[in-house]
Structure 1
Amino acid sequence: MGVLRTLMCVAVAAMLGSVAMAATYTVGGPNGGWDTSTNLQAWATSQPFSVGDNLVFQYMPNHDVNEVSKTDYDSCQTSNPIQTYTGGNTTIPLSSPGKRYFICGTMGHCSQGMKVEIDTLATSAPPPASPATPPPVATPLTPPPASPTTPVPSPPKHSPMSPLSPPKSPLSSPTSSPIVPSSESPMNSLSPNGSTPPPPPSSATKTNSLVGFTVGFGFAMAMLLGL
């Protein structure tokens, strides 16, 4: 849509420019006209006629304008005109390049110099309008590849520290009674016949004997003191 609008604007501008550049020439002017007293060919040679220009013929009622061929122009022959104009004020557009020939149809006027050759030049064609360059398409920005993020190790969760209980001092250290090695009596040795000796009396038996002995000794001492 934007390109079409641009081309239309260029075309309209070219048309307006051609209209603005088009010139209108009064034949024989400004000091003369379409008559027998003006050097019409000298005037035409000094004018740069271009396509789009206009010729204006201003003349008296006893004159007219005939467009003729090159042959009729040279021989002032008015019997076979291409186009005849009358009315005293004629405008002829120069729509194409090339030479055109005009004479007066009144008897004897052409031979008296009332004729003109118009050489129309092609206008310099305006440079072709370059198509409007469309705006550049915005390329989507490619985001940079996301680098793999190393997970940050979370700090170790500390278990609530239990209050340190003071070390309990031992109320009493257990005392180990020394083990008294028992001396091996000669009876513990094997008898000559190889029989196993009877086991020694247990410590409980020894204790009972000692208690009985102590009680008896105490009783005896009490008796002696009582005497």
Structure 2
Amino acid sequence: MGAWYKVGDEVGWTNLGHVDYDAWAKSKSFRVGDTIQFVYNQGFFGVLRVTRKNYNACNATAPYSISLTGNDTFTLKYPGHYYFICGRIGHCEFGQKVHISVPANNSVPVLAPPPVLVPPPIDQSPPHHDNPSPAPVPSLTDWDKNSPGPAPEVVQPPSTSPSPSPSPHKKSGGSALVGSKVWLTSVVLLAFCACGIAF
């Protein structure tokens, strides 16, 4: 979808009036995709696309293309130089020729497609609790024995459950042992006494 240019504007493609077609072409900014139109009196003129050498020499032999309809169009598909002359004898020498230049950096810009908006992913992770579980307490077995330096001291966290208070009537292990020895001695003495009474 380039621009449309009529060669020579309202004058068209002719050898009458000595139109300066090169000056007309230099006043335009051609780019790839533009179309140029040659409008002329059919039967009196024609449009030949030729090489640069033949353009400068007004040589109509071996052209790239020949158009004779009186309303010819040509699309500028590539950057570069395009040379056109009229093939009638003497017309090119009288100035009926045009040089179209299309710069390589003046092509039609290609619009980038609009960005596609992607909604954020839905969070499907389980809900967070207010009281997270406490972190496990490390033990001495977790210590790498190959690591330099002494093993770190492991501090156990205080227990949250209250420990039962000792019963006032419960005797210590040492007191229970002394009581057992006294009771055994009393039994032995009573047995001897009973034997002495029997004898």
Q: TM-score range by the shorter chain?
A: 0.5 to 0.7
Shift of 1:135: 2.1
Structure 2 residue 7 is the aligned partner of structure 1 residue 27: yes
Which one of 79, 82, 96 corresponds to residue 61 of structure 2?
79
Which one of 52, 59, 64 corresponds to residue 40 of structure 2?
59
**Counterparts of 2:4 and 2:109, CA distance in 1:** 20
State which structure, 1 or 2, has the greater radius of gyration over its C-alpha atoms: 1
Pairs aligned (count)? 127
Write the letter of the residue equivalent to 2:38. Answer: F
Instruction: Looking at secondary structure, tell me which structure has more helix per residue.
Output: 1
**Partner residue of 1:120?**
102
**Counterparts of 2:130 and 2:3, CA distance in 1:** 71
**Counterparts of 1:41 and 1:105, CA distance in 2:** 17
**Counterparts of 2:117 and 2:84, CA distance in 1:** 49
**Partner residue of 1:204?**
none
**Counterparts of 1:78 and 1:29, CA distance in 2:** 24
**Counterparts of 2:24 and 2:38, CA distance in 1:** 13
Shift of 1:92: 0.7
Write the letter of the residue equivalent to 1:56. Answer: Q
Which one of 95, 108, 113 corresponds to residue 77 of structure 2?
95
Q: How does 1:29-44 map to 2 (within 5 A)?
A: 29-30=9-10, 32-36=11-15, 37=17, 38-44=19-25
**Counterparts of 2:75 and 2:123, CA distance in 1:** 54
**Counterparts of 2:31 and 2:77, CA distance in 1:** 9
**Counterparts of 2:73 and 2:108, CA distance in 1:** 23
Structure 2 residue 86 is the aligned partner of structure 1 residue 104: yes
**TM-score, normalised on structure 1?**
0.52
Structure 2 residue 68 is the aligned partner of structure 1 residue 68: no
Shift of 1:146: 6.4
Per the alignment, in what secondary structure is the counterpart of residue 83 of structure 2? strand
**Counterparts of 1:51 and 1:124, CA distance in 2:** 6
Structure 2 residue 28 is the aligned partner of structure 1 residue 47: yes
Per the alignment, in what secondary structure is the counterpart of residue 42 of structure 1? helix
**Partner residue of 2:127?**
143
Shift of 1:142: 3.4
Per the alignment, in what secondary structure is the counterpart of residue 33 of structure 1? coil
String of CA shifts for 1:50-70, please: whole Å, max 9, x gaps: 111111101112100000001
Kindly report the root-mean-square deviation, in angstroms, between the aligned alpha carbons of the 2 structures: 2.0
Write the letter of the residue equivalent to 1:139. Answer: D
Unaligned runs of 5+ in 1: 1-18, 149-227
